[in-house]
Amino acid sequence: MNEFLGRLRGRDPVLMLAIRTSRTADVVRIAKSTGHHAVMVDLEHSTMPLDVAASLCAAAGDLGLFPFVRVREREYGALGPLLDGGAQGVVAPRVETAAEAATIARACRFAPRGQRSQLATVPQFGMRPTPAATLNPALDDATVVQILIETPAGVARAGEIAAVDGVDMLAFGANDFTAELGVPGQYTDPRVTEAIAALAAACQRHGKPLMVGGIPDPARLRDLDALGVCPLRLTGTDTDMLYAGAAARAERFLA
């Protein structure tokens, strides 16, 4: 079993920091020293180039953090290079059909399960040339494909999406979902709870974890645990934290 997925099946919180603004491995070291277990390099909301994203992921892996990268919507050609460069987890946004999920999953794994292009050197093996018979199954087992559901259409097809081979977990994007409903940021709307319950039921049927993202209130997230949500918590983005720290420091000097 994938070690990271196994941890998500426990009760202890698994903390993940999103990286949007930072461009050096310093932010990864900060994530490590502040008790995070994973990072998510967010290309969906960033102008960051692929080589920087891959370098951040490789640094995270070296430090024992699980490195996710959220790709831009439907830019699935970037999945292979990012995985080759050090990413181990992929977050694919705004997926609404099983066919879309299957395309993503196949891009992330080698034949016969997928169509990831063959290579011999990756950061996880210290760039040591490694035979395909060893490298392929090791990377396939270590890779986590997370499908992000952000629309009512995606929720309606949750069972079909969760059933796709190679999809390891689902995630619910509360921000985009509430915007789609016309109630942006209203996470207590009953339709949000209903959607999460539907996704959790689909994931439980197929033995896959469900993460909820976009809700900044830890108490609300704990309430959702009862529905079957896994303990992967997105603590925030480097941009948000930098702003909060700068604002607090300015207030301190002006007091």
Strand order of the sheet with strand 169-173?
Answer: 210-213, 169-173, 144-149, 89-92, 66-70, 38-42, 14-19, 232-237
Q: CA 115, 43, 206, 113: dihedral to nearest 10 degrees?
A: 10
Residue 45 is among the residues annotated as catalytic for this protein: yes
* Per annotation, catalytic residue among 36, 37, 45, 206: 45
Going by C-alpha positions, the residue among 199, 105, 125, 108 that lies closest to residue 158 is 199
Confidence at residue 2, expressed as pLDDT on a 0 to 100 scale: 87
pLDDT along the chain (255 residues), means of 10: 90 95 97 98 97 98 98 93 98 97 97 96 96 97 98 98 97 97 95 97 97 93 93 96 96 92
pTM: predicted TM-score of the whole model, two decimal places: 0.95
What is the per-residue pLDDT for 126? 95
The residues, ordered by sequence, that sit 6+ positions from 247 with a Cβ below 8 Å of its Cβ are: none
In the chain, the amino acid numbered 230 is C
